[in-house]
Amino acid sequence: MSELRRRRGRPPQDEAGKRREAILDAAIAEFGDKGYDAATIRAIAERADVDPALIHHYFDSKADLFADAVRFPLRPQAAIDAILEGDMDQLGERAVRYVLTLWENPEFQRRAVPLMRAAMGSKFTTPIVMQFLNRELAAKVAARIAAERQTSESDAQYRTALILSQMYGMLAGRYVMGIPGLADAPMDDLVAAVGATIQRYIDTP
Amino acid sequence: MSELRRRRGRPPQDEAGKRREAILDAAIAEFGDKGYDAATIRAIAERADVDPALIHHYFDSKADLFADAVRFPLRPQAAIDAILEGDMDQLGERAVRYVLTLWENPEFQRRAVPLMRAAMGSKFTTPIVMQFLNRELAAKVAARIAAERQTSESDAQYRTALILSQMYGMLAGRYVMGIPGLADAPMDDLVAAVGATIQRYIDTP
DNA sequence: GTCTATATTCCGATAGAC
DNA sequence: GTCTATCGGAATATAGAC
């Protein structure tokens, strides 16, 4: 009995933090498959071939583990500014191409999927994701639109929201839900089609 | 003690199915607030001021309760055909206006939100929602586009997926996540802006 | 129809030996 | 760092009295 137990006397510390990495990797996969609530620490431990208690040794709580698991994708920060700086006429296509290229990176995708799920998960998780999204992205886009197009602040916010809604729908459909026709579409097709939409949300009065 | 218990000796059967309605109403609210996994039968029972066991009397399982709670929104079925029948040139605006009008109905919205959450909830809930969506909606749209525009089946599927992605993003942003600028936009503005997008996804080669 | 009581399982988290 | 053992609670679900 007790055969679900981890094998005992594990070589203490294979290499520095190797098991910790395995835990994070398993957590990303579990949160990505099941969403935050349905994912369990025990299932993550089993997936990482690790004792559940070890997870609590490395991470204080389930919420902390989730935060660490999705930390990576927040990186692109710098590139966003560069994209917004270019000429306004091709901003739509440029933005879509950048976002899609980012998502084609499997490492990014794996960490971003749990965040996309959390954004729609509950009325409690939504504001957490939205706060980050607004601070890192939406505010900058709205400011750029307001400055260039010289519209009111609320109009810029409205245009930004339209852009976000199409971006979210595209990414959710392609990478999370796997909608047929969208998940397997060539990137260039999407850049042209959705890029034109974004551009129109920027331009049209 | 045991003061969390329901008051005993409830008037047997207020009116036919009145408590059952209260349970369904509470379930819609809980599933809408927290999503399927985080919502609990106990919390639903407390919200409905009902004993948890009574829920199991009316509904066999949590999944059954969820299914019954969101059953209503599947109704519009008939109207979809009417919208697709009209002239192709204004199909975009017509579709957006119809969808938004539907969602402005609070009864529809309350039941549709849990479904939208479930669509992004996990890799297990996604196909359940998608199957319904495809059968009731996507297939018809794709057929109409393929017939009218005389494109290949896969091209029609691609266009339909683009349309769905923008629709999902708009509804999720406006009614589920409550994105500022989108949640409070006048319906006519959205009909014009998003309607034009949908129309372009139908038309542009 | 309604509720008490409970079976059964699983959860996140902790204490402490090694 | 790793694992055993377990705490304390909450989950869904069921059996059966009233």
pLDDT at B72: 73
pLDDT at A17: 79
The chain A residue lying nearest B168, using CA atoms, is: A169
| Chain B residues touching A38 at Cβ < 8 A | 37, 121-122
User: Residue A181: which region, alpha, beta or left (left: phi > 0; alpha: psi -120 to 50)?
Assistant: left
Answer whether A126 sits within 8 Å of B196, measured CB to CB.
no
pLDDT at A1: 36
Q: Is the CB of B27 under 7 A from strand D?
A: no
Cβ-Cβ contacts under 8 Å for B201 (sequence gap 6 or more) = A193, B92, B159, B162, B163, B166
Rounded Cα–Cα distance for residues B21 and B138 (Å): 32
**By the CB < 8 Å criterion, does A177 face chain B?**
yes
For A179, the closest of B33, B37, B161 (CB atoms) is B161
Q: What is the 3-state secondary structure (H, E, C) of A77-121?
A: HHHHHHHHHCCHHHHHHHHHHHHHHHHHCHHHHHHHHHHHHHHHH
3-class secondary structure, B171 = helix
* Strand D interface, A 25-54, C-beta < 7 A: 50-54
In 10 A of CB B117, how many CB atoms? 29
Which residue has tokens 């749209």?
B141
Q: Is the CB of A180 under 7 A from strand D?
A: no
Q: Is the CB of A52 under 7 A from strand C?
A: yes
**B2-69 with B76-203: one CATH topology?**
no
Homologous superfamily (CATH) for A76-203: Tetracycline Repressor, domain 2 (1.10.357.10)
| Chain B residues touching A160 at Cβ < 8 A | 181
- Interface size A-B, in CB pairs within 8 Å, comes to 150
> What spatial distance separates the first Cα and last Cα of chain B, rounded to whole Å?
71
Separation of CA B55 and C1' D2 in angstroms? 44
Cβ-Cβ contacts under 8 Å for A58 (sequence gap 6 or more) = A20, A23
Pair of tokens at residue B89? 């040139």
Cβ proximity of B157 and B150 under 8 Å: no
Which of B:48-107 have CB within 8 Å of A? Answer: none
Rounded Cα–Cα distance for residues B106 and B28 (Å): 12
pLDDT at A16: 59
For A120, the closest of B130, B160, B176 (CB atoms) is B176
pLDDT at A76: 75
For B165-174, give one letter per residue: b (16+ CB within 10 A) or e: bbbbbbbbbb
Q: How far is CA A177 from CA A112, A174, B128, in A?
A: 13, 6, 11
Q: What is the pLDDT of residues A126-184, one digit of tens each?
A: 999 999 899 989 999 999 999 999 999 999 999 999 999 999 999 999 999 999 999 99
pLDDT at B205: 75
Find the nucleotide nearest A16 (Cα to C1′): D1
For the residues of A153-203, what is the DSSP string, one character each? HHHHHHHHHHHHHHHHHHHIIIIIS--TTTTTS-HHHHHHHHHHHHHHHHH
Which residue has tokens 């959450």?
B117
Cα–Cα nearest to B35, from B69, B86, B76: B69
Mean pLDDT (whole number) for A114-128: 97
Pair of tokens at residue B36? 């399927």
**By the CB < 8 Å criterion, does B109 face chain A?**
no
| Chain A residues touching B167 at Cβ < 8 A | 169
Task: Specify the DSSP class assigned to residue B1.
Answer: -
In 10 A of CB A142, how many CB atoms? 24
Rounded Cα–Cα distance for residues B66 and B70 (Å): 6
Average pLDDT, chain A: 92
- Residue nearest the C1' of D5 (CA based): A53
For B173, the closest of A165, A176, A189 (CB atoms) is A165
Which of A:30-59 have CB within 8 Å of B? Answer: 33-35, 37-38
Q: What is the mean pLDDT of each run of 10 residues along chain B (205 residues)?
A: 42 68 96 98 96 95 95 77 92 97 95 97 97 93 94 97 98 98 98 98 91
Candidates B134, B179, B200: best to mutate against A (most CBs of A within 10 A) is: B179
Which residue has tokens 């009111």?
A152
Separation of CA B156 and C1' D2 in angstroms? 56
Separation of CA B110 and C1' D17 in angstroms? 38
For A177, the closest of B119, B154, B200 (CB atoms) is B119
3-class secondary structure, B181 = coil
Rounded Cα–Cα distance for residues B166 and A177 (Å): 14
Domain residue spans in chain B? 2-69, 76-203
Percentage of residues in chain A having pLDDT higher than 90: 83
Which residue has tokens 């996604």?
B126
**By the CB < 8 Å criterion, does B203 face chain A?**
no
Cβ proximity of B18 and B100 under 8 Å: no
pLDDT at A11: 56
Task: Specify the DSSP class assigned to residue B88.
Answer: G
User: Residue A151: which region, alpha, beta or left (left: phi > 0; alpha: psi -120 to 50)?
Assistant: beta
pLDDT at B74: 63
* CATH class assigned to A2-69: mainly alpha
Rounded Cα–Cα distance for residues A120 and A35 (Å): 10
